[in-house]
């Protein structure tokens, strides 16, 4: 499946996202990836409360980070959210977040295997048609 850009956000890195080596720490990449995904869901009618009300939600099964270049304190970066894959039944998706520095250099990419969970049965499920359409658009 070719990748499909769903959304993007721009952020300026903060002190709490840095490690002892002066560059962005690994957990910050995961946090920002989750924020980017949740902003996409929110823009398509699924806030956290909407997920609770509908009785389902996204969960991360696996994250993988690939580093290419450093991101330093107070640097502006653009984070894209892309659909990189999906299983046949539409219950599991691979979302890829690319972290691009202001100079255009790819700093890192995070690939996340995400599943939608029915909160009552605790089993995987395909998202409702409205959300699936937004993901596939």
pLDDT tens for 64-96 read: 999 999 999 999 999 999 999 999 989 999 999
| Predicted confidence (pLDDT) per residue in 89-112, tens digit | 899 999 999 999 999 999 999 999
Q: What pLDDT shows up at residue 137?
A: 86
- Residue range 4-128 forms a domain whose CATH class is alpha beta
Residue 132's nearest CA partner among 64, 61, 52, 45 is 45
Asked whether the beta carbons of 92 and 86 are under 8 A apart, the reply is: yes
The pLDDT mean for the chain works out to: 96
Q: How confident is the model at residue 4 (pLDDT cuts 50, 70, 90)?
A: confident
Annotated domain spans of the chain: 4-128
Q: How far apart are CA 134 and CA 42, in angstroms?
A: 11
């Amino acid at each position: 499946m070719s990748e499909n850009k769903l959304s993007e956000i721009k952020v300026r890195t903060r002190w709490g996202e840095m490690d002892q080596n002066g560059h962005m720490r690994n957990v910050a990449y995961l946090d920002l990836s989750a924020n980017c995904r949740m902003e996409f869901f929110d823009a398509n009618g699924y806030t956290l409360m909407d997920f609770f009300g509908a009785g389902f939600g996204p969960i991360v099964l696996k994250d993988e980070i690939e580093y290419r270049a450093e991101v330093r304190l107070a640097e502006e970066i653009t984070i894209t959210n892309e659909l990189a894959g999906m299983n046949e039944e539409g219950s599991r998706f691979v979302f890829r977040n690319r972290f691009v520095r202001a100079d255009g250099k790819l700093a890192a990419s995070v690939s996340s295997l995400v599943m939608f969970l029915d909160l009552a049965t605790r089993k995987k499920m395909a998202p409702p048609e409205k959300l699936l359409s937004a993901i596939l658009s």
